[in-house]
Structure 1
């Protein structure tokens, strides 16, 4: 049996992890995050499709591609969290479980970062736990998928 696919989608500037504001985001790189996800996926018996883009339209297109292909979406939308109604609309349209992840605690940061459009489409949000939040989000999504399969 083919393991269920979870899309792991990363938005703008996450390609700069390890370089960009390490006091906020830590020293782990995006490659390190991908390895965390690969290891978690193996443990959870799920497959992942790990991607990063700086483009809003590309991120929206990737979300749309998930319909009929993936069983869930783990998304760190970066700054699009706070600005993108288009991303919210795409996440809502695909009708898949979504877990939103942020490396930093967006609620302890600037006021404009405390609002998330994406949260309106998410079953859950993990923020402030560093890159380990990705493994936690994958665990949550694997549990949700397993629950769906048992119904």
Structure 2
């Protein structure tokens, strides 16, 4: 399916490659973006790739994309646990949404990391596959 896939990244993901590489890996967000763009292009899709530390900006992007997209890939990061405005915005989206986490959130030491509220509004979840999770999500959405 040709179309546009929106990839959204939440707080602190701009520091990938530097931030806790033992947990999140050494790939930077630019590395992940390049891989996602290559996958989308190979599938005949276009890609919009964004990152924000501001919840209101994430909500605005989701609202603007609520119709007419092939799909949304979102790594909500810390919005996963308290981002109710992000959750509410995702509930308005008419395309498939895949939630991606670099680490396996269910194996993390902090109990609060295991409970993503965003999961209530998404089509699927990819957790623990590192940067590959983004590419797989883009591939899946492009093939729909």
Count of residue pairs the alignment pairs up: 143
Partner of 1:70, secondary structure, is coil
TM-score by length of 2: 0.95
Cα deviation per residue 1:25-56 (whole Å; 9 max; x = unaligned)? 01110100100101111111111100000000
Whole-angstrom distance in 2 between the partners of 1:23 and 1:56: 26
Partner of 1:48, secondary structure, is strand
Which residue in the other structure is 2:40 paired with?
A: 41
Which residue in the other structure is 1:139 paired with?
A: 139
Which residue in the other structure is 1:92 paired with?
A: 91
Matches within 5 A, 1:99-138: 99-109=98-108, 110-138=110-138
Cα deviation per residue 1:42-86 (whole Å; 9 max; x = unaligned)? 111111100000000100100001023422110001110111111
Which residue in the other structure is 1:14 paired with?
A: 13
Higher helix share: 1
Whole-angstrom distance in 2 between the partners of 1:94 and 1:58: 16
Whole-angstrom distance in 2 between the partners of 1:99 and 1:77: 11
Q: Which runs of 5+ in 2 are unaligned?
A: none
Q: Which runs of 4+ in 1 moved over 6 A?
A: none
Whole-angstrom distance in 2 between the partners of 1:49 and 1:69: 13
Q: What is the alpha-carbon root mean square deviation over aligned residues? A: 1.2
Q: Which runs of 5+ in 1 are unaligned?
A: 145-151
TM-score by length of 1: 0.91
